[in-house]
Amino acid sequence: MTYENILNKLEGKWICQRTNYFLDEKKINYNQREIKLQQIHNINISQKKDDIVYHYQIHSPQNNQKIYYLFFKKKQSEYGELHKITNDQIKYYRFKIYTCNCIKIESVKKSIIYYEYIYLINPKFKITIAVLKNKHKYLAASFISEIKISN
């Protein structure tokens, strides 16, 4: 039940403020944008019997970019798969829902490790902390705060 509850809270129009710290170059960049995250039901992907599947589209009006997120999880498993589709590129991640308000998303390729924690503070406010590492060396960190402005 936690899985469905937390994913249902992601839908809506959000204002996002992101700060990225690039540790090697000692650079910081900042951006703010509006995004719309909506669940979509018209994707034709075969679903296995015990899978819980959610499909989302994120649309950014500033650059008219659309990103698709496909969440797959077995009912009895604590881990799931996340596919992020941008243009013609698909990235694969693993995710785990820790509590009723926290998702961890991670990816490992060779020695590069990426992970992020998404905390839903309440239905209208979420915070994301993301880290990029090469083995034990931190390369970058991001802090994102998002405020829901409408459903």
Give tens-digit pLDDT for 50-69: 677 787 888 887 778 888 88
Which residue range is the domain that position 63 belongs to?
Answer: 2-150
Q: Tabulate helix, strand, coil % of the chain (nearest 5).
A: 5, 70, 25
Report in angstroms the alpha-carbon separations of 36 from 56, 81, 113, 118: 10, 22, 28, 17
Supply the pTM of this predicted model. Answer: 0.84
Give the pLDDT of residue 43: 61
pLDDT in tens, 8-43: 788 899 999 999 999 999 999 999 999 998 888 766
Cα–Cα distance, 151 to 149 (Å, whole number): 7
Residue 63 region, left (φ>0) first, then alpha (ψ -120 to 50), else beta?
A: alpha
Lowest-pLDDT choice from 10-14, 38-42, 105-109, 117-121: 38-42
Give the pLDDT of residue 104: 94
Q: What's 107's domain CATH number?
A: 2.40.128.20
Quick check: helix, strand or coil at residue 8? helix
How many independent structural domains does the chain possess? 1
Contact 93, 81 (CB under 8 A): yes
Give the pLDDT of residue 22: 98
Report whether pLDDT(1) > 50. no
Give the pLDDT of residue 127: 97
